[in-house]
Amino acid sequence: MSHHLTPLTDPAHRPHSQRLAWLASDADSNPVGTAFLRLFTDPGQQHLAELTLQVHPVERRRRVGSSLLDAAVAAARDDARRCVIAQAAAGSPGDRFLAARGFRKVLTLRFTRLSRADVDTTALAGIVERPHPGYRLASWRGTVPDDLAQTFAAARHAMDDMPMDDTDYGTVTWDVDRVRAAAQAVEQRGDHLHTVVAIDTGDGSIAGFTELVVPGDGTGDAQHYGTGVLPRHRGHGLGRWMKAESIRQAHEQYPSLDGLLTDTADSNTHMRNINQSLGYAPTHTTHQHQLDL
Ligand SMILES: CC(C)(COP(=O)(O)OP(=O)(O)OC[C@H]1O[C@@H](n2cnc3c(N)ncnc32)[C@H](O)[C@@H]1OP(=O)(O)O)[C@@H](O)C(=O)NCCC(=O)NCCS
């Protein structure tokens, strides 16, 4: 069946990116698929575009996805982008489509989940209460308190060497405005951002952090965002300590939560070991694909 594409105006403007959109319709003008292309606008990521593509299941294998992809890739080229990235579940139609359309697999992400029923509160308390000489834990909900804002922004560098394997992801520069805006974006969409940090008691600086986003109504699964420890503070068990405290708080404050979901690069052995030791069990795997333009 023939189909046509309509470029759409996308109102989803964000501080660090803009998004282009296309709607694919059949001959009767029924929508059959969409494509969204996020163009990152900050220095360090202006080479990068991220694609999300959807075709209605009954309309697949009729080249709708290919037409949407062609439009998005042409737009990325027009905008002088160096590469387009897209994610799909391992073994899914999207995974096969992207491979067939010239993308290469650059990163494998393993998703693991800790079900509320499997939270071992005694074991967690044991980890959280064990002293880590030279460090103390602190936490907040929402935006970072003013007195920690500067050191928290600096601590985001802990994510700089997070394994991204072959992904041409560029660099993200964090400052106080950016950490505040990221927290406000989560709260504005109605979810709750919880942050646990380890503070170096010697100078009061943040040595590491872990973030958890809980759905606004406190049900379903919460999602772990970043966990990072600055290089000079690694090897002291801070990652596991902070994450255990994050689980403990979620378990206590959100009794209707089903579980906690986290995703980790396949090659990130340290983080995977932490999650495994805390009881997270594998759920699924996704692949990041990249098309170099
Ligand atoms: C991925 C998706 C957009 C493909 O849309 P589509 O309209 O079916 O794709 P096309 O018909 O243009 O397929 C082009 C080629 O990709 C490959 N392909 C697509 N789907 C495939 C599948 N399920 N199995 C194997 N190969 C597949 C084939 O080589 C196909 O050519 P062929 O049909 O001549 O063999 C669609 O399956 C979808 O919406 N999936 C869920 C969302 C998703 O994963 N999006 C991609 C990542 S953002």
**pLDDT per residue over 236-247, tens digit each?**
999 999 999 999
Distance 153 CA to ligand 1 centre (A): 40
| CA dist., res. 239 & res. 210, Å (int) | 8
Is residue 234 within 8 Å of residue 221, measured between CB atoms?
A: no
263 and 184 in one domain?
A: yes
* Residue 97 beta carbon below 6 angstroms from any ligand 1 atom: yes
| 118, part of any domain | yes
251 and 166 in one domain?
A: yes
Range of the domain at 44: 3-81
| 15, part of any domain | yes
* Residue 84 beta carbon below 6 angstroms from any ligand 1 atom: no
132 and 16 in one domain?
A: no
63 and 126 in one domain?
A: no
231 and 118 in one domain?
A: yes
**Mutation test of ligand 1: which of 97, 98, 103 has the most ligand atoms closer than 8 Å to its C-beta?**
97
pTM, entire model: 0.89
Residues of the chain with pLDDT under 50: none
Task: Look up the CATH number of the domain holding residue 11.
Answer: 3.40.630.30
* Residue 55 beta carbon below 6 angstroms from any ligand 1 atom: yes
| 70, part of any domain | yes
Q: What pLDDT, on the 0 to 100 scale, is given for residue 84? A: 97
* Residue 58 beta carbon below 6 angstroms from any ligand 1 atom: no
Q: What pLDDT, on the 0 to 100 scale, is given for residue 249? A: 98
Q: What pLDDT, on the 0 to 100 scale, is given for residue 232? A: 95
| 102, part of any domain | no
Q: What pLDDT, on the 0 to 100 scale, is given for residue 1? A: 60
| 148, part of any domain | yes
Q: What pLDDT, on the 0 to 100 scale, is given for residue 169? A: 83
Count of structural domains, the chain: 2
| 287, part of any domain | no
247 and 152 in one domain?
A: yes
267 and 200 in one domain?
A: yes
* Concatenated DSSP letters of the chain: --EEEEEE-----BTTEEEEEEEEEETT--EEEEEEEEEE-STTSTTEEEEEEEE-GGGTTSSHHHHHHHHHHHHHHHTT-SEEEEEEETTSHHHHHHHHTT-EEEEEEEEEEEEGGG--HHHHHHHHHS--TTEEEEEEESSPPHHHHHHHHHHGGGGTT---TT---------HHHHHHHHHHHHHTT-EEEEEEEEETTT--EEEEEEEEE-TTS-EEEEEEEEEE-GGGTTSSHHHHHHHHHHHHHHHH-TTEEEEEEEEETT-HHHHHHHHHTT-EEEEEEEEEEEE-
**Mutation test of ligand 1: which of 32, 38, 50, 61 has the most ligand atoms closer than 8 Å to its C-beta?**
61
